Amino acid sequence: MKKINKQNLILRNQIQQAFVERDILTFAENPFVVSMYCSFETRRHLCMVMEYVEGGDCATLMKNMGPLPVDMARMYFAETVLALEYLHNYGIVHRDLKPDKYVCGTPEYIAPEVILRQGYGKPVDWWAMGIILYEFLVGCVPFFGDTPEELFGQVI
């Protein structure tokens, strides 16, 4: 179950984004997109009851294993490509791909056009996929910075 603090959603101006996520997960029928069974609200939280995915997320896997073996990286990458193609066919752009989303808006995965505020579309997801594949194989992201500004300077 994903439990989201409502106050945090308000502070980050992400209320609409949370409801869009709920709607997408409710509608999506794809073996590579996690299914959502139901959602409900409490006084303090928005809760989404989702399919259990054994094995956890890829960020935890990489933390424990280091760089992934090529065959494992290929499998996770291919599964995510299929999920992205499915979402893109419905006009849905993820915009926040990163290994901890893989059960499969961190700065390391943001595409140059988003940094430059030039709008975005499906290519921002493919940029993030390239960063993720690099991280799968090498064990770290290709761009570093002590601040988001320093990191963005390397990207653009």
Q: Which residues are catalytic?
A: 96
Residue labelled with tokens 């933390």: 63
Asked if 64 contacts 55 with a C-beta cutoff of 8 angstroms, the reply is no
Which residues share a beta bridge with 38? 49
DSSP letter string over 117-146?
T----HHHHHHHHHHHHHHHHHSS-S---S
The two tokens of residue 104 are: 């499969």
Alpha-carbon distance of 67 to 71, in angstroms, equals 12
